Amino acid sequence: MDLQLKNRTYLVTGGSSGIGLATVAMLLDEGANVVTCARDVDRLNAALDPLPGADRRLTAACDVRDRDAVAALVEAGRDRFGGVDGLVNNAGNSRMKPRAETTLDDWRDEFDLKFSSVVNTVDAALPLLRKSTAASIVNISAVLARQPETRLVTTSAARAGLLNFSKSLSLELAGEGIRVNSVSLGLVDTGQWQRRYEKSGFDGSFEEWEAEIAADRGIGLGRFGRADEVAFQIVSLLSPRSSYITGTSIDVCGGVARYV
């Protein structure tokens, strides 16, 4: 199926690994232009080097918490490809820390990375999105937004705020034809779970270790998700074929969500 992404331009934050990298690869496979960033541009370029479509991608070092740097990234994308048709706000890892050990600076840093960064990209890209015939924003959230985890208290709160903001933004921009959706993650192996397995000393295969954790966490499908499984949902939401979908959140979590 043609997702109608060819020659359109998408900005993906956090493109050097995991879900961001898988999303960039899928967009390039669909013939899209991609603007992507990471704080370590050398690592980003090394990750993208094996992918096809070198002439259809633009990379840059960018800390998404830096409003001016984000604005410069969007401007560079406009200069290279003529505009921006969509955003994927993906930057940010989980912060494993209980509330009693969380400092005020931890709270500020978490919200700056997972919430303010999205405000930065949206504000910078909106003038270009308004010129697109198929504008779409996809914000990466987590089931933690509606099913909090005490070991991830700052991440749970920041994701909840982002999910609420995404809904508000979808209502605000619907009249302009700009769609806003979220993809909420469960446990996805983007490399970190493999590293934890290697350090765990578990006497068995990764699949056996994974299945034990999945059972403990109540993941219905009995395993972790994969980055490409998440990327497929992201790219589908970016597609003009999803033109009647806005203001929603799609869970990619293997059935771990318990809310209705």
Rounded CA-CA distance 154/109 in Å is 9
In the three-class reduction of DSSP (H, G, I as helix; E, B as strand; rest coil), residue 182 is classed as strand
Instruction: Return the structure tokens found at 217.
Output: 């966490």
Neighbours of 220 (CB within 10 A): 12
pLDDT tens profile 152-205: 999 999 999 999 999 999 999 999 999 999 999 999 998 888 998 999 999 999
**Inter-residue contact 183 to 234 (CB < 8 Å):** yes
User: What is residue 240's predicted lDDT score, i.e. its pLDDT?
Assistant: 98
Rounded CA-CA distance 16/36 in Å is 8
User: What is residue 84's predicted lDDT score, i.e. its pLDDT?
Assistant: 98
Mean pLDDT of the chain: 96
User: What is residue 91's predicted lDDT score, i.e. its pLDDT?
Assistant: 81
Neighbours of 168 (CB within 10 A): 12
For the chain, list residues with pLDDT below 70. none
Q: Helices 227-238 and 18-29 sit at what angle, rounded to 10 degrees?
A: 50
pTM beyond cutoff 0.85: yes
Neighbours of 166 (CB within 10 A): 24
User: What is residue 92's predicted lDDT score, i.e. its pLDDT?
Assistant: 75
